[in-house]
Amino acid sequence: MTLLVTPRLHLRRFRAEDAAALAAYRSVPEVARYQGWTAPVGEEEAHALVRQFAAGDPGAPGWFQYAVEERATGLLVGDVGVRLDANGMQADLGFTLAPAAQGRGYATEAVRAVLGDLFERRGLRRVSAECDLRNAASARLLERVGFRREGLRPAFTWLKGEWTDDLLYGLLAEWWRG
Ligand SMILES: CC(C)(COP(=O)(O)OP(=O)(O)OC[C@H]1O[C@@H](n2cnc3c(N)ncnc32)[C@H](O)[C@@H]1OP(=O)(O)O)[C@@H](O)C(=O)NCCC(=O)NCCS
């Protein structure tokens, strides 16, 4: 089921057939580098993830994962995750693209669609995001869509055998409208 449409993408629910494509892009070491999971992602793990994503409710507190599908090919090219706070007024955001889909503005297009929905239709006040200080592509994307850098937490996350410095970002509804 398509939830959001952009010129080049469909943002829809995950479905069982997405497991192989999800496993393929989540298994790329550069894609996993700053993320909470470890590559490679096996088929069984991907099937379990897809089942969990498919059962999510975008209107309920907790994570909801949008599958990002390229309209021209019907291929799954990535995902955008939104963690809605229990207060229903703020959320956290995450995003991932398969390497072949990067560098074409797809993440910007998908994230803008999700933010438009959160701020304009669902009336949220704040969306927050975090990224590793070294994750330049992620920081550029966040700033391109209007997030402001709110801080840097040195050695905040122990990830894959090292302490990482995390950038904090925020976007308020009034900045989005402005
Ligand atoms: C973060 C991530 C999604 C960003 O992907 P991306 O491809 O750089 O972002 P977009 O899809 O918005 O593409 C923007 C780039 O495409 C370029 N571009 C090319 N054609 C474009 C078009 N038609 N429209 C817009 N941008 C276009 C832009 O100039 C930009 O390049 P730049 O950042 O070098 O200036 C990607 O790096 C990724 O999946 N990383 C691994 C997972 C990860 O770390 N996620 C974030 C965790 S915090």
CB-based contact 64:58 (threshold 8 Å): yes
Q: Mind listing the pLDDT tens digit for each residue in 88-137?
A: 999 999 999 999 999 999 999 999 999 999 999 999 999 999 999 999 99
CB-based contact 140:33 (threshold 8 Å): no
| Cβ neighbours of residue 1 closer than 8 Å, sequence gap 6 or more | 12, 13
User: With pLDDT > 70 as the criterion, what percentage of the chain qualifies?
Assistant: 100
Atom of ligand 1 nearest to the CA of 34: 44
Token representation of residue 174: 């009034």
Asked if the model's pLDDT at residue 41 lies above 90, the reply is yes
**Distance between Cα 102 and ligand 1 center (Å):** 5
Q: Mind listing the pLDDT tens digit for each residue in 7-35?
A: 999 999 999 999 999 999 999 999 999 99
Mutate to test the pocket of ligand 1, among 26, 93, 135, 138 (most ligand atoms within 8 A of CB): 138
**Distance between Cα 97 and ligand 1 center (Å):** 8
Confidence of residue 43 (pLDDT cuts 50, 70, 90): very high
